[in-house]
Amino acid sequence: MEKRFLEGKTVGILTGGGDTPALNSSIEQIRNHVSILGAKVYGIRQGWKGLLGEGDIVDLTNQPFDGKCGGTALKSSRTNPFPSKKNPVSRVDQVLTNLDRYGIDILVTIGGDDTNGAAKKLWEQERIPVIGFPKTIDNDLRTTTIHGYKGKDIEVCLCPGFPSAANSVVEYTQKIRTTASSHNRVMVLEVMGRHAGWLTGTSSYGFADMALIPEFEINKERKEKFFEKVKEKYQENNYLIIAVSEGTRWYNDQTGQVEEVYASTETDEYGHPRLGGISGVIANEISQKLKIDARAQIIGYYARSGKCFEYDRKLSVALADKVLDLLLREDYGKMPVLKRIESFPYIEEYNTTAIDMGNIGNLPLPLDYYNPDEFEISEPYYDFLYHILGPIEKYEFKYKYPKVYPNK
């Protein structure tokens, strides 16, 4: 029998950083595709942490797996094996030792800029064969993907995890409308996404009335204009949904500075503090300055929880097909990405390519996607989301009744 290309080799898969609903789908598809080439497949638990100390490794070869379930069966961490401000001691030697001890020949790292950036260093400095695989609900990786809209090419991103999270944010925003309208309230929804407005913008697809994104800070002048718009829009329906990115910079009346709001200033091993609380600040100021009942609601981890959305499943398959191609060509230090935004039936391997997996982070929401004067998402972004999420119907009570006046 002819020997298969990776027969006798072992491929290790790890997931790093925050979880997404598409991680198990990505693990499953990578495992299935790698197995075609005859390799053993090991799962490295808790990201890079699973390659420290004694190691934490499981065998995924020919094992049952549920890619539809959200989260990651391999667990995750924000461990950085390279020296950092929080942990100045290099642990790369532990990683190398455990790769040798467990007989892992090739690494596939599922993550964002931090996880894949560390893997790229391992390839460049130690020549450990690595292939990256994109993952983020923030959708801010520089994947060089193109969205064609009315004759114009817009550089965008589309990573596994984002479609599922977007679907959840749209669903959440739709549902919150009923309580907002019942109590004539302004609901301020805080959405994850760090310093990019991609995920927050999806709330508008769920019919949020306004959106504040990190790409446009709210300085003193814009803050005054924002309150004018809130008052104007509230008077139209006597309720309002405002989405705000957790990383939006907001003018502080007391300090006279434009500031981020932190849930905790303690940083992880990649230097990121924990953002959070901006929705409460905005809701309180709306209540105080406009005398309108406003409440803060943090969507938080709901956005990255639950089942894997069908578009994500298809995207994982297409990108895993490209991993197979990279393995066959021994083209390491690369990451598969989508070439162009396409609707569900056209997400296939032919629409993928590979890019360098280093320095891929922090792609802002394109200017074409946002109207800063109206604090609203623009038509091109609706088109982008239509390709991923399909049509959506506005969910609200449609009937109005004539007012009755007393006879006397």
Q: Catalytic residue numbers?
A: 138
396 neighbors 181 (Cβ within 8 angstroms): yes
Quick one: which of 179, 192, 188 has its CA closest to 210?
188
E-strand spans in 271-333? 273-275, 294-298
CB 302 within 8 A of CB 172: yes
How many other C-beta atoms can be found within 10 angstroms of the C-beta atom of residue 160? 31
From first CA to last CA, the distance across the chain in angstroms is: 98
The strand pairing partners of 298, in sequence order, are 190
- For residue 190, report the phi and psi dihedrals to the nearest 5 degrees: -95, 130
Instruction: Judge whether 191 and 203 are in contact, CB under 8 Å.
Output: yes
The string of DSSP codes covering 64-95 is ---TTSSS-TT------SS--SS--S--HHHH
How far is Cα 72 from Cα 311, in angstroms, rounded to an integer? Answer: 18
Element (DSSP H or E) covering residue 103? none
Separation CA 142–CA 175 (nearest Å): 32
> With 0-12 CB in 10 A as exposed, 13-18 as middle and 19+ as buried, what is 391?
exposed
| Measured CA angle at 107 (ends 106, 112), to 5 deg | 155
